[in-house]
Amino acid sequence: MSTCTTLYVKGSTPALQGNLHVPGSKNSAMPLLTLAALQAQPVTVKQVPGISDITHLLELLSFAGSSSVNQGNHVIFQGLHLKNEPYTFPQALSSRLRGAIYALALPASRGVRARLESIGGDYIGSRSFTPHLRALAGFGLQVSGQGSAVAITGGHPRPSEFSIDDKGITATSLAIIVAASLDGESIIKDASLETECDDVLAAARHFGAQAERDGRSLIIKGPFQSTDAPIRIPADHLVWGTFAIAAAMTGGSTSCAAALIDHRFDPVIEALRSFGIIVSQDGPLLKTFGRPLRPVTLETGMYPKFPSDLLPQMMALAVSAPGTSVFKESHYGSRFDHLPGMEKMGARISMVEGDVHIHGATPVSGAQLDGAGIRETTALALLALTAQGPSVIRKAASVSRGYEDLAQTLCRMGATVHFG
């Protein structure tokens, strides 16, 4: 996990090949770790990704009274010792990740006053904290939010029925966590359909709560029951998709254990196949092979639509595809901070009624670039692999928030990439 901020990429990369290690999903790991932190007895969480967002979340949970030991890709929680006094979480930590909001679940479950002065993460279009405020207020807590600050200012949590109107992951997951910690039944309406939220429902059941989905309504009955059975984070389809895209851009191939693949991978596999890339199972392995042969049209949305967190990387792939590909960001409204960098390298891009049109089969050249969010910076790095000449991507530290080691993995596949 690199902490350096500048990424150097040597262009004209040969066909990348690799047997991929697919870590646990970041977007599932954060709420599942929070659930584990609320347990009364020791519990182990397995296949935890080694990324900076996880490190910082564990520090925030520790500040709220959680005791844990991080052993590689296992985290062992040793019980919660929450004090009945107001908490103001360190801004230096909370401002680094959007998942900081999960730390509020610990005081919220007990009605303890708490405040996050600044919640960080990537800026993506119209994303707001309104659903998160609903997730907390729905249980009878008095909450306030201004800008990127969120506070629990009073009240005692109780099971309830309310609408959250959420299409993301964190607000719905936060509501599930609090509901599962309370004694009684809650019904959360208009919840997200994202697969990561189903992971949180499954984890709540693992810890003894009743938790079911009926479309966009969630029925959750707590409280937790004692268990010391370990829990495992599902594999990250976004990481797998990123390296499958990198291989496809260079005409290469990947393989990984097919046992890791579940339904959350389906929209990504379907999109790769739409480009003409071969994705098939060969015995115990899932393999990808080939370059993009045709343009695609992709629209993001809640599962089973295409995940927004892979849209920037798919745009980079479209530069290598013949024809004009069309991308519509319906999930967050806008996710286009990487487009100026792509254009600087020579990609031909136009905006048509809010949709991104990428005119492919266009040669690109290395350039001095500035990164942005996790996925946007990664998209620039992938495009730089195919460029004539080297590229330097400044402000690239965000990559370590979502990938255990993007540069090392690409190097093992045959690229020349390093942080410095």
The 8-class DSSP code of residue 205 comes to H
Q: What is the pLDDT of residues 211-258, one digit of tens each?
A: 999 999 999 999 999 888 999 999 999 999 999 999 999 999 999 999
Q: Domain spanning 26-232: which superfamily?
A: Enolpyruvate transferase domain (3.65.10.10)
Mean pLDDT on 300-314: 96
Domain ranges of the chain: 7-23+235-419, 26-232
Task: Give, for 203, the enclosing helix (H) or strand (E).
Answer: helix 195-206
The predicted pLDDT at position 120 comes to 85
The predicted pLDDT at position 93 comes to 92
| CA separation, residue 297 to residues 49, 302, 357 (Å) | 31, 17, 9
CA 29 to chain centre: 9
CA 215 to chain centre: 22
The predicted pLDDT at position 282 comes to 95
The tokens describing 28, both together, are 């599932």
Domains 7-23+235-419 and 26-232 share a fold: yes
Q: What is the pLDDT of residues 318-347, one digit of tens each?
A: 999 999 999 999 877 667 999 999 999 999
Q: Which long-range contacts (CB under 8 A, 24 or more apart) does 128-131 make?
A: 129/101, 130/165, 131/164, 131/165, 131/166, 131/168, 131/171, 131/172
Mean pLDDT on 280-303: 97
Q: What is the pLDDT of residues 53-86, one digit of tens each?
A: 999 999 999 999 999 999 889 999 998 999 888 9
pLDDT at 124 over 80: no
Q: What is the pLDDT of residues 160-197, one digit of tens each?
A: 999 999 999 999 999 999 999 999 999 999 999 999 99
**Does pTM surpass 0.85?**
yes
Confidence label for 401 from pLDDT (cuts 50, 70 and 90): very high
For residues 89 and 57, the answer to whether their CB atoms sit within 8 Å is no
Percent of the chain with pLDDT over 90: 89
The predicted pLDDT at position 196 comes to 98
Confidence label for 126 from pLDDT (cuts 50, 70 and 90): very low
CA 143 to chain centre: 26
pLDDT at 383 over 90: yes
The predicted pLDDT at position 121 comes to 75
Mean pLDDT on 202-218: 98
Reading phi first (left if > 0) and then psi (alpha if -120 to 50, else beta), residue 12 is in: left
Mean pLDDT on 157-161: 97
Q: Domain spanning 7-23+235-419: which superfamily?
A: Enolpyruvate transferase domain (3.65.10.10)
Q: What is the pLDDT of residues 340-381, one digit of tens each?
A: 999 999 999 999 999 999 999 999 999 999 999 999 999 999
For residues 52 and 1, the answer to whether their CB atoms sit within 8 Å is yes
The predicted pLDDT at position 127 comes to 56
pLDDT at 119 over 80: yes
Give the integer Cα–Cα distance in Å for 309 and 99. Answer: 15
The predicted pLDDT at position 16 comes to 98
Q: Which is nearest to 326 in space by CA: 303, 345, 306?
A: 306
Confidence label for 267 from pLDDT (cuts 50, 70 and 90): very high
3-state secondary structure of 61: helix
For residues 399 and 408, the answer to whether their CB atoms sit within 8 Å is no
Give the integer Cα–Cα distance in Å for 149 and 102. Answer: 13
150-162 burial code (b ≥16 CB/10 A, e <16): bbbeebebebbeb
Q: List the beta strands (DSSP E) in 147-282.
A: 149-154, 161-163, 184-189, 210-214, 217-222, 231-232, 253-257, 278-282
The predicted pLDDT at position 1 comes to 53
